[in-house]
Amino acid sequence: MTLMNQQSVINCQPELVEGGQQLTTILVTGGHGQLASCIKCIEAKYDDLNFIYTDYHDLDICDLNQVQSFFAANTIDYCVNCAAYTAVDKAEEEKELAFKVNAEGPKNLAMVCHENKVVLIHISTDFVFDGNKREPYTEEDKPNPISVYGSSKLQGEVEIQQFLKEYFIIRTSWLYSEHGHNFMKTMLRLAEARDEISVVADQVGTPTYAGDLAAVIIQIIRSKSQNYGLYHYSNEGAVSWYDFAKAIFVEINEGIRVSSIKTEDFPTFAKRPSFSVLAKFKIKEKMSIEIPYWKDSLIKVISKLYK
């Protein structure tokens, strides 16, 4: 869950751009998270879009009455749901809260989007899979989450599909950016305090720059795509956490020693999929997008932080 101040909410009635064309208004929940922050960084490029950012202080998506009232008071064309309970290990102890935010919240949004003819874009996760496959997961593969977090996110997908036809569910993986808390920023912080670090090497996935995902979301909206449904999006390539950490330190020219360890050597409350690479054939074909390689995006982010 993310935090945001009350000034972020705009009572938004239809506005016009030059020439009398109506703006497309987009509600972004989870307005202080890294994905929403990345959307903010590029929104100025698009004068045909109007954004409303909220967090749970402004709009509690778990409260159906609040959601209904908010949509009644604002003219909204798209809702991008970035709000989520993402504390993977803590979710094992806070199952009820995880399901409330990750399943009941999306259900409320789906119901109200249906009532108001709003297109919902919902962000989900590679953690809906068990990791037993050894080739990239497609949208047709059967989910089998092995953690409370993964189960709660899968239930959110199910709820949306029950109430809506006009939706985009985008599963992504290993999200990071220059904003918020994420693996890359943790590694950068540790590099300032340590000479050596151990990182798990037997979990394989794809680091995904939130800025790249933000651009895809805006492309879907501006293209007014009606290719609704479930999609996978991550950067290209596959890598372990160990290799991701090494790449980060190379880019910042730090000589920190990185040791590889097994998952069993670093026990956590929640189980993680050992392999969660996502296949992107569908989104590349349906949305006509080019997806950057993970290391190219990492270099871009590091450059932003250190320039």
Q: What is the pTM of this model?
A: 0.93
AA letter at 194: R
pLDDT of residue 249: 95
Q: Does 1 score more than 50 pLDDT?
A: no
Looking at the chain, the whole-number percentage of residues with pLDDT higher than 90 is 91
Spatial separation of the C-alpha atoms in residues 270 and 266, rounded to whole Å: 11
The pLDDT of 268-272, averaged and rounded, is: 97
Per-residue pLDDT, averaged over 296-302, amounts to 97
What is the sign of the dihedral through the CA atoms of 206, 211, 213 and 215?
A: negative
* Contacts of the segment 12-19: beta carbons below 8 A, 24+ positions apart: 12/50, 12/52, 12/74, 12/75, 12/76, 13/74, 13/75, 14/75, 15/50, 17/47, 17/48
Whether 192 shows a pLDDT value over 60: the answer reads yes
Strand positions, DSSP E, the chain: 24-29, 49-53, 78-81, 119-125, 167-172, 175-176, 196-200, 204-205, 208-209, 229-232, 239-240, 257-261
* C-alpha to C-alpha distance for 232 and 230, rounded to whole angstroms: 7
104 DSSP assignment: I
- The per-residue pLDDT for range 122-160, each reduced to its tens digit, is 999 999 999 999 999 999 999 999 999 999 999 999 999
- Measured distance CA(126)–CA(134) in Å, rounded: 14
The whole-number pLDDT of residue 255 equals 84
Domain range annotation of the chain: 6-180+210-235+277-292
What's the whole-number average pLDDT of the chain? Answer: 93
Q: How far apart are CA 165 and CA 114, in angstroms?
A: 8
Whether the CB-CB separation of 115 and 65 falls below 8 Å is answered with: no
Q: Using one digit for the tens of pLDDT, what is the confidence trace for 74-91?
A: 999 999 999 999 999 999
Q: Which residues lie closer than 8 Å to 198 by C-beta, 6 or more apart?
A: 258, 259, 260, 261, 265, 266
Query: How many Cβ atoms are within 10 Å of 304's Cβ, its own excluded?
Result: 12
pLDDT exceeds cutoff 50 at 176: yes
Q: What confidence tier does 22 reach under pLDDT thresholds 50, 70, 90? A: confident
Give the per-residue pLDDT at 17.
Answer: 52
- pLDDT value of residue 306: 85
Task: Give residue-wise pLDDT tens across range 4-18.
Answer: 333 334 333 445 555
pLDDT at 138: 98
Higher pLDDT: 32 or 17? It is 32
Which pLDDT value is given to residue 14? 47
The Cα–Cα gap between 217 and 47 comes to 16
How many CB atoms lie under 10 A from the CB of residue 260? 16
Q: Which fold has domain 6-180+210-235+277-292?
A: Rossmann fold (3.40.50)
In the chain, what's the furthest Cα-to-Cα distance?
62
pLDDT value at residue 254: 80
Q: Which residues are catalytic?
A: 149
Residue 10: predicted pLDDT: 37
CB 208 within 8 A of CB 175: yes
Cα 48 from Cα 268, distance rounded (Å): 45
